Amino acid sequence: MAVGEFELIEEYFRQGGAALGVTLGIGDDCALLDIPAGRQLAVSMDTLVGGIHFPKNADPELIAERALRVNLSDLAAMGAEPLWFTLGLTLPEADKLWIKSFSQGLFRVANEYNITLVGGDTTKGPLAMTIQVHGAVEPDKALLRSGAEAGDLIFTTGCVGDGAGALAVIKQELEVGKSAFNYFMQHYYRPEPQVSAGCLLAGLASSAIDISDGLMADLGHICTESGVGAELKLERLPLSDPLKKLVPREKAFEWALAGGDDYQLCFTVPKRQLPRLEQLTDQHKFEAHLVGEMVQGSGIACFHNGEFVAVDSHGYQHF
């Protein structure tokens, strides 16, 4: 079913109604946008390729959900409030049913996180999508990778290792029951970007990153950019019950450390800020699991109940 680009945009990608700061949305050479007064613009772009980042025959509704959620995770990691996104969508053919389903998933997430589609491009070619998210953050409050200091405590906002577990389940490397299968599929396609945690941590955490390439790799970026090292306590890593049931403890640690696609935040907090952090977690604003401490030096050392453990530090490598 071949239809024109403009028709597709009209039919499936124009949202009604006015949105914050959008003077002009889809339909001209550019979108025209107003940043809230006194805020900085935070932008991040991610490309997902069919057959590489998701199975080509996956449900388009789920692909869309995952693509936007993964991008929102980068805004979360910056402590930025979501505003707008753009979508570059490349499809082998203009399959209306596929596009309809894709747009439903996309707008479900967009509405959930209050982010507006303002432009993009649809082209013919191998299945892929590039999303750019735009958010607002107060100057000097953005969560950088470079702000951690020795003595700061390291936290994650939730369980790690489920991303790697989900991939093993999807690839059918492990047999699981229906409930575990659903849990991991849900995690894989509908990860929960920690947007509200990120916004609350802005100005409180000394650094943050979202765990997309694996805890070791991503915490490693904080170490490098901050010029400090880190010590992780493996027994403290938050592991989900389905993951603990799925594989032996050692494998779960491996996935928690070197897997990817967790989309929790890893963040550091100076000890003097702990009362504020505890206040937020006591109010159930978000979870904060203490997993280690930043130290003088460089690199990450892992300990299990006080004993040093050698761990392969490679996260997911893009090439």
* Footprint of a second copy (CB under 8 A): 2-5, 8, 23-24, 27-35, 40-53, 74-75, 77-78, 80, 86-90, 93-94, 118-126, 128, 130, 132, 134-135, 137, 139, 142-146, 208-210, 225, 317-319
CB of 168 to a second copy, least distance (A): 20
CB of 187 to a second copy, least distance (A): 20
Contact indicator for 285, 224 with CB cutoff of 8 Å: no
Q: Both tokens of residue 15? A: 């949202």
CB of 291 to a second copy, least distance (A): 19
Closer CB to a second copy, residue 14 or residue 124? 124
Closer CB to a second copy, residue 17 or residue 125? 125
- DSSP class of residue 35 equals P
Q: Cα(205)–Cα(303) distance, rounded to whole angstroms?
A: 24
CB of 251 to a second copy, least distance (A): 25
Q: Cα(46)–Cα(160) distance, rounded to whole angstroms?
A: 21
Give the CA distances from residue 96 to residues 54, 68, 133, in Å, rounded to whole numbers and listed in that order: 20, 20, 25
CB of 304 to a second copy, least distance (A): 28
Contact indicator for 71, 203 with CB cutoff of 8 Å: no
CB of 282 to a second copy, least distance (A): 27
Closer CB to a second copy, residue 15 or residue 40? 40
Q: Cα(63)–Cα(15) distance, rounded to whole angstroms?
A: 19
| Torsion sign across C-alpha atoms 64, 132, 79, 242 | positive
Closer CB to a second copy, residue 5 or residue 278? 5
Closer CB to a second copy, residue 126 or residue 177? 126
- The DSSP secondary structure of 166-177, one letter per residue, reads HHHHHTTSS---
Q: Cα(97)–Cα(166) distance, rounded to whole angstroms?
A: 27
Contact indicator for 135, 80 with CB cutoff of 8 Å: yes
Closer CB to a second copy, residue 20 or residue 274? 20
CB atoms within 10 A of CB 296: 10
Q: Which residue carries 């991939």 as its tokens? A: 167
Closer CB to a second copy, residue 92 or residue 297? 92
Q: Both tokens of residue 151? A: 């003595």
CB of 114 to a second copy, least distance (A): 17
